[in-house]
Chain A
Amino acid sequence: MEKVGVYDELDNLKATELRLGLPGTEETVSCGKSNKRALPNNTEKEIESTGKTETASPPKAQIVGWPPVRSYRKNNIQTKKNESEGQGNYVKVSMDGAPYLRKIDLTMYKQYPELMKSLENMFKFSVGEYFEREGYKGSDFVPTYEDKDGDWMLVGDVPWEMFVSSCKRLRIMKGSEVKGLGCGV
């Protein structure tokens, strides 16, 4: 049976917290470190916050505490234990235009393609194809992340392990904001 991945309900409540968020308003401008792609300084328009009772049809991502199976049981069913034990590494994920923030556990993935697929499912979009020099092509959406230094980077630029250990949060940028990344739109 496939790994459940991001849909695991784990002990950490914050893992599947649904929150209203204004994506990307706190980001900083990156200074020129040579191996990082710089993001433009964003003066983002405030995205209208939608009320909690907004009737956006809920994506099929998991609801907190549903189905009602205790974490202990979920984590201990055979074959799930074969994965590494660990606290999990939870990062917030926002997408431009989406009303809710999500949280995912990066340790549930082994490589970039798995992560991307999961994000695509979660937010119902597609990222296009990744190219080392040019970034993502073929889509309006670009996955970015904030690293330990506060710089915004393109997801995929660094080796996976380095990414997992340095990623603080993810943001899926859209449209015009993407230009500074040197991606083909």
Chain B
Amino acid sequence: MTEEDSSAKMSEDVEKYLNLNPPCSSSSSSSSAATFTNKSRNFKSSPPPCPDHVLENVLENVLQFLTSRCDRNAVSLVCRSWYRVEAQTRLEVFIGNCYSLSPARLIHRFKRVRSLVLKGKPRFADFNLMPPNWGAQFSPWVAATAKAYPWLEKVHLKRMFVTDDDLALLAESFPGFKELTLVCCEGFGTSGIAIVANKCRQLKVLDLMESEVTDDELDWISCFPEGETHLESLSFDCIESPINFKALEELVVRSPFLKKLRTNRFVSLEELHRLMVRAPQLTSLGTGSFSPDNVPQGEQQPDYAAAFRACKSIVCLSGFREFRPEYLLAISSVCANLTSLNFSYANISPHMLKPIISNCHNIRVFWALDSIRDEGLQAVAATCKELRELRIFPFDPREDSEGPVSGVGLQAISEGCRKLESILYFCQNMTNGAVTAMSENCPQLTVFRLCIMGRHRPDHVTGKPMDDGFGAIVKNCKKLTRLAVSGLLTDEAFSYIGEYGKLIRTLSVAFAGNSDKALRYVLEGCPKLQKLEIRDSPFGDVGLRSGMHRYSNMRFVWLSSCLISRGGCRGVSHALPNVVVEVFGADGDDDEDTVTGDYVETLYLYRSLDGPRKDAPKFVTIL
């Protein structure tokens, strides 16, 4: 229905409603039906719409403007009528935990879904803390939606297990399918991708991010159909196998709407050059290896700087998987326009970084390795005044590696980048002073994730625990919604979190705290807490029990290598029937010498509308 049609219909309905009900009558809805019947004998028009229908129609028109799922959730709670209308008009459904409800419930409630966002495994699964084949299969979801929503256009999955068959069913079932995004997924290969490429003729977005894609030795790029495509975004930087470059080049040429292209490391610098020349309209470029195939001979090498100059619209750069430093300066001309720069797979030194970053005045998002050192961070702080998000990953992710970044870099960033909202920082050593400085200089912080890689490491200058630093963060950063803590932390740090962290939704804890009190502080103090992931901390059943009043309102709680017992977990599951309590060992063996008796290696609990899942593998016990 177009807007005009619907408002015309709306006013028609309203008119009829007003004509049939004399203004002085204050009849209730039940008696007014009788009134209508009597009076309608004198009218030529069709039977008048019941007021409920009119209201629903009005509501439908209003609700179509509501896109935020929080608003829609609130609307659906007003009354049954509003619930119904909201369910009819919700176009995008977000499911934060695929096990919180069944596919059947989804299709029963929402009838016109065009876009589905599904998240599966909890985040700690990324760090090998969850055995393989735990679950989060896409299959039941694609099967259900294939029948219920043939008009489905968009699927966005995170940490789900997706098979080639699932992708085939998706490609066959949704003729208007437009966007597929798979983040941290696994279970499929290039054959599944090929089917999507081939059959989804309306495809605009095919984004594979940090997913494991098996190499089925298939030329999937050639599977895109002939003729002009609708492609706007194609990201395959996580596909660890060579591609048919000629086919890619031809694809780019016939994709006039292509704005985002993220190639994998099998695309050389020469090949990248050819792509850029054919697609100067690109806004986001994943540069692949950024290394030439052949050692250049004098003037014969392509003019990379010119190619970058020609791409005047580039605002986002990533890739650099095998970069050669001598070519880095080719990107200089786009630096002033860049809003996002991802160097996090490139071993870039401060010396290499400085000439680039000194032109990046508009950067908002910067990801890099700690190879840039404190010196590089100082250079970022000096120039990038618009920085909103910073991520520094470790080049050498071990506990006892060298620490090229420290509190010095953190403090510099805090002083230079006052608009910072989100930070992820891996380091070996940190001080309370630097963390406190950041809390004071960057009041806009919503995400603070600090990973001091040495477990239980104190402030390396004072030798004290890191309690005060994190305490300052929760106290001063009043918008904080996500926090990850590390280093030597006592229960006191958690008392601060409970006292001040009133907006925190996600909390990650590892090797921290002294006792159950810490867990209690958090569970009693943080009313907005949705996702709690804890590992290797001395929290037991008492701490677990202290959260009983919260678990039904949380997305999940993960506790691994703590001190909880089976009995304690069972207690939770008995007390909270709408919470599913899973326990399992870290490695999925059925061996006798792993988890025995009362000790619980991993507890994963989450609320669910449809009870325990039926697809749990043998190594998972649902209490």
Contacts of A124 in B (CB 8 A): none
**Interface size on B (CB < 8 Å)?**
44
| A58, B575: Cα distance in complex, Å | 37
CB A122 to nearest CB in B, in angstroms, measures: 13
Q: Which residues 1-60 of A sit at the B interface, judged by CB distance below 8 A?
A: 1, 4, 7, 9, 11, 13-14, 16-17, 19-21, 52, 60
Contacts of B210 in A (CB 8 A): 70, 72-73
A165 on the B face (CB < 8 A): no
Q: Which residues 181-199 of B sit at the A interface, judged by CB distance below 8 A?
A: 184
Q: A interface, how many residues as a size bin?
A: 20 to 34
Are A71 and B128 closer than 8 Å at their CB atoms?
Answer: yes
CB B617 to nearest CB in A, in angstroms, measures: 14
Contacts of A162 in B (CB 8 A): none
Contacts of B455 in A (CB 8 A): 63, 66
Are A16 and B128 closer than 8 Å at their CB atoms?
Answer: yes
CB A124 to nearest CB in B, in angstroms, measures: 14
Closest to A71 in B: B128
CB A18 to nearest CB in B, in angstroms, measures: 9
CB-contact partner of A65 in B129, B344, B345, B393, under 8 A: B129
Are A9 and B128 closer than 8 Å at their CB atoms?
Answer: yes
| A11, B397: Cα distance in complex, Å | 15
A68 on the B face (CB < 8 A): yes
Contacts of A64 in B (CB 8 A): 127-129, 586
| A14, B395: Cα distance in complex, Å | 23
| A76, B210: Cα distance in complex, Å | 11
B593 on the A face (CB < 8 A): yes
Annotate A123-149 by CB proximity to B: 1 below 8 A, 0 otherwise.
000000000000000000000000000
Contacts of B396 in A (CB 8 A): 1, 4
Q: Which of A77-85, A104-112, A151-159, A166-174 contacts B (4 or more CB under 8 A)?
A: A77-85
Are B399 and A77 closer than 8 Å at their CB atoms?
Answer: no
CB A105 to nearest CB in B, in angstroms, measures: 14
- Given A67-B451, A69-B426, A70-B126, are A76 and B399 neighbors across the interface (CB < 8 Å)? no
CB B259 to nearest CB in A, in angstroms, measures: 25
CB-contact partner of B399 in A62, A65, A78, A79, under 8 A: A62
B491 on the A face (CB < 8 A): no
CB A149 to nearest CB in B, in angstroms, measures: 25
Are A69 and B394 closer than 8 Å at their CB atoms?
Answer: yes
- Given A67-B394, A67-B451, are A81 and B128 neighbors across the interface (CB < 8 Å)? no
Contacts of B212 in A (CB 8 A): 11, 72
A117 on the B face (CB < 8 A): no
Are B510 and A68 closer than 8 Å at their CB atoms?
Answer: yes
Are B345 and A76 closer than 8 Å at their CB atoms?
Answer: yes
Q: Give the dominant DSSP class at B's interface.
A: loop
Most buried by B among A1, A16, A77: A77
Contacts of A4 in B (CB 8 A): 396, 398
Are A78 and B345 closer than 8 Å at their CB atoms?
Answer: yes
A74 on the B face (CB < 8 A): yes
B346 on the A face (CB < 8 A): yes
Are B347 and A81 closer than 8 Å at their CB atoms?
Answer: no
Contacts of B240 in A (CB 8 A): 85
Are A19 and B593 closer than 8 Å at their CB atoms?
Answer: yes
Annotate B439-461 by CB proximity to A: 1 below 8 A, 0 otherwise.
00000000000010101000000
Contacts of A73 in B (CB 8 A): 210, 344-345, 393
Contacts of A74 in B (CB 8 A): 397
B323 on the A face (CB < 8 A): yes
| A165, B238: Cα distance in complex, Å | 30
| A72, B212: Cα distance in complex, Å | 8
CB-contact partner of B393 in A11, A19, A60, A69, under 8 A: A69
Contacts of A63 in B (CB 8 A): 399, 455, 536
Annotate B336-365 by CB proximity to A: 1 below 8 A, 0 otherwise.
000000001111000000000000000000
B90 on the A face (CB < 8 A): no
CB A132 to nearest CB in B, in angstroms, measures: 35
CB B602 to nearest CB in A, in angstroms, measures: 11
- Given A13-B131, A20-B593, A67-B397, are A78 and B323 neighbors across the interface (CB < 8 Å)? yes
Are B395 and A72 closer than 8 Å at their CB atoms?
Answer: no
| A77, B397: Cα distance in complex, Å | 10
| A26, B400: Cα distance in complex, Å | 35
Are A66 and B347 closer than 8 Å at their CB atoms?
Answer: no
Are B129 and A67 closer than 8 Å at their CB atoms?
Answer: no
Contacts of A14 in B (CB 8 A): 587
| A100, B511: Cα distance in complex, Å | 20
Closest to B209 in A: A72
- List 17 A-B residue pairs with CB atoms under 8 Å apart, sorted by A's residue number: A13-B132, A13-B587, A16-B128, A17-B586, A64-B128, A65-B129, A66-B127, A66-B399, A67-B399, A69-B127, A69-B394, A69-B426, A70-B210, A72-B238, A78-B322, A78-B345, A81-B322
Chain A residues close to B by CB (< 8 Å): 1, 4, 7, 9, 11, 13-14, 16-17, 19-21, 52, 60, 62-74, 76-79, 81, 85
Apart from A73-B393, A78-B347: 6 A-B pairs, beta carbons within 8 A: A4-B396, A9-B128, A64-B586, A67-B397, A68-B510, A77-B369
